[in-house]
Amino acid sequence: MQIKEYQKIITEIYSNIKNVEDIGKVANYIPELGSVSADNFGIHITKINNETFGIGNFEEKFSIQSISKILTLALAYKLEGEKLWQRVDVEPSGNPFNSLQQLESDNGIPRNPFINAGAIVVCDVLISHLENPKEEFLAFCRELSNNATLNYSEKVAKSEKNTGFRNVALCNFIKSFGNIKNNVDKVLDFYFYICSLEMSCKELSKIFLFLADNNFKTHKEKRVITKSQVKRINAIMLTCGFYDESGEFAFRVGLSGKSGVGGGIVAIHPNGFCIAVWSPKLNKKGNSYKGMLFLEHFTTKTACSIF
């Protein structure tokens, strides 16, 4: 589909949904997230041929939260290879993102890398590989998107550190099973920082092009991960990207995707495009209410789901 056609359809849906009553709530269990204006609504699409279109607050940076779990997974998979799956599984959890429940019966092996438990293990794997995890992970993101302005938010990271009791519990619990190899404070500090990464919809739809374009190379002409790894990360996004609402997202939208409690969602059409939506009010499962609604209309009107 031509970018002009996407532009027309996106503009139309954006205008309709902008005025729909938002039944969601801005996340405030991390106090700093509660300070954003609930009315923000932005969309940006980047095609693999680099044609783009954006509307609304698509250039404003926000806390990408769990969307960063795709980036930590990509780097850990690159560094650790298939051994990674001995530490974290690839099954949908059917449980909330911060749940402790299954970890006991699963002997400290998190169900997938996109729930908090799984992302914490992935952070631990990265710490074992990297000398300066925060700096090197940020450098990876900057290279991937050819964007030196990408950064963490100190405020959000600190705010989460002060209130992240559940994540502290998760990390210690997993450590008790031997599936955290490094110091828990170090792992948690890294986890809180990766969650605090800030990007706009425009930046998000660009950084994830490596999952849409099988021939993607960075500006330094480097391949990021193998084609098989791209396929697998997309598969985990489809089955686990929205926690206990992953089935619903596949059912209503039909793209691989990932949400964050900052209200962002990215979705991938393999060989087509990456689209990012931001609207801070979340539904009960922690996914952006208007973001999901927008994407449902988008794949319906463009007939561009993967099914």
Ligand X SMILES: NC(=O)CC[C@H](N)C(=O)O
Residues interacting with ligand X, by CB under 6 A? 65-66, 97-98, 116, 160, 167, 195, 260-261, 286
Quote the CA–CA distance of 123 and 129 in Å, as a whole number: 10
- Minimal distance in Å, beta carbon 119 to ligand X? 8
Q: Which is nearer to ligand X, 50 or 162 (CB)?
A: 162
Q: Is 160 annotated as a binding residue?
A: yes
Query: Is 243 part of any known ligand binding site?
Result: yes
Helices (H), ranges, the chain = 3-18, 68-80, 101-105, 116-129, 133-145, 154-163, 165-176, 184-195, 201-207, 209-212, 227-240, 246-252, 289-302
Give the residue with the Cβ less far from ligand X, 14 or 249: 249
CB atoms within 10 A of CB 302: 16
Q: Which C-beta is closer to ligand X: that of 240 or that of 255?
A: 240
Minimum distance of ligand X from residue 98's CB (angstroms) = 5
Beta carbon of residue 113, minimum distance to ligand X (angstroms, whole number): 13
Nearer to ligand X, 29 or 177 (CB): 29
Residue 46: strand pairing partners: 52, 274
51 assigned binding-site residue: no
Of 179 and 288, the one with the shorter C-beta distance to ligand X is 288
The secondary element (H helix, E strand) that includes residue 77 is: helix 68-80
Q: How far is the CB of 13 from ligand X (least distance, A)?
A: 24
Rounded Cα distance between 85 and 125, Å, is: 11
Q: How far apart are CA 193 and CA 82, in angstroms?
A: 26
Q: Where are the beta strands (DSSP E) in the chain?
A: 25-26, 42-47, 52-56, 62-63, 151-152, 197-199, 256-259, 264-269, 273-278, 281-282
Shortest Cβ 232–ligand X spacing (Å): 21
The gap from C-alpha 225 to its chain's centroid, in whole angstroms, comes to 17
Q: Which residue is nearest to ligand X (CB)?
A: 66
For residues 276 and 44, give the distance between their C-alpha atoms in angstroms, rounded to a whole number: 5
Q: Closest separation between CB of residue 190 and ligand X, Å?
A: 12
CA-derived radius of gyration, the chain? 18
- Residue 225 C-beta: closest distance to ligand X, Å: 22
Determine the Cα angle at 69 with ends 102 and 159, to 5°: 90
**Closer Cβ to ligand X, 164 or 272, answer by number:** 164
Q: Is residue 107 a known part of a binding site?
A: no
Nearer to ligand X, 57 or 66 (CB): 66
Q: Is 11 exposed, middle or buried (0-12, 13-18, 19+ CB in 10 A)?
A: middle
Tell whether residue 167 is among the known ligand binding residues.
yes
Sequence ranges of the binding site for substrate: 66, 116, 160, 167, 191, 243, 261
Sequence ranges of the binding site: 66, 116, 160, 167, 191, 243, 261
